[in-house]
Chains A and B, each alone.
Chain A
């Protein structure tokens, strides 16, 4: 089955600087890669996702890049703000394959923005 590795496990950046979180996946058939943000005790919230037919997607200060050949994808947050502090999870799935839509999550990155 799919295996997703995520690095780093913790990340501290100064407010205003950029943060980058990286994930690798094992199943070359995976074609959907969402990123979720989770605040303490709350539900995971989708912040951005990318599908395998594109290499990059951007939404304001957040961007995701995908390298299918190397089987890795990254989350980039620019101009970080205190409210970006949370745990971020990457995930992978193959929603076009019947019975394979489940998300396999990375282990999470605790991002702390230092004011």
Chain B
């Protein structure tokens, strides 16, 4: 167990719908990262938040957005869902204390299926 939690575990929805994925980082970690894993794209970085603020952005679609709340949990919102959005969505957290102590620990993931 990495200490990172994600809910829900599975999500099945229809095209055009909107869903919210939730992540709680390890105790004390300030950074949250979201990654998407699909069969043909591997593990792709979406977005990073650090202590409530957006820190880095990857190839995240405009239909997707995220935020990190004062208690440091994060939510990834996916809207106008398409079949191609079906994937495993992982959240990871790290301390970002500087000095290279930035190991990222992954949560169990949310499997999204868009029908």
Q: Could you list which residues of chain A lie within 8 angstroms of chain B, going by C-beta atoms? A: 31-32, 34, 36, 41-46, 49, 51, 89, 93, 95-96, 98-108
- Residues of A within 8 Å of B90, CB to CB, are 43-44
Which residues of B pack against A, CB within 8 Å? 2, 31, 33, 35, 42-45, 48, 55-56, 58, 90, 92, 94, 96, 98-100, 102-109, 111
Interfacial chain B residues near A106, Cβ < 8 Å? 42
Contact of A102 among B42, B58, B105 (CB under 8 A): B58
A49 to B94, CA, bound (A): 14
Bound complex: CA A41 to CA B109 (Å): 9
> Would you give 10 A-B contacts (Cβ < 8 Å), ordered by A?
A32-B100, A32-B102, A44-B43, A89-B42, A95-B102, A96-B99, A99-B55, A101-B31, A102-B48, A103-B45
Apart from A101-B102, A101-B104, A103-B43, 11 more pairs, CB < 8 Å: A34-B104, A43-B107, A44-B90, A45-B2, A95-B94, A96-B99, A96-B100, A101-B94, A102-B48, A103-B33, A103-B104
Chain B nearest Cβ from A100, distance in angstroms: 7
Q: B108 touching A42 by the CB < 8 A rule?
A: yes
Collect the chain A residues with CB atoms within 8 Å of residue B99's CB. Answer: 96
Most buried by A among B43, B107, B111: B43
* Contact A51:B45 (CB < 8 A) given known A43-B108, A45-B106, A102-B33: no
Chain A residue contacts of B104, Cβ below 8 A: 34, 46, 101, 103
Contact of B103 among A46, A98, A99, A102 (CB under 8 A): A46
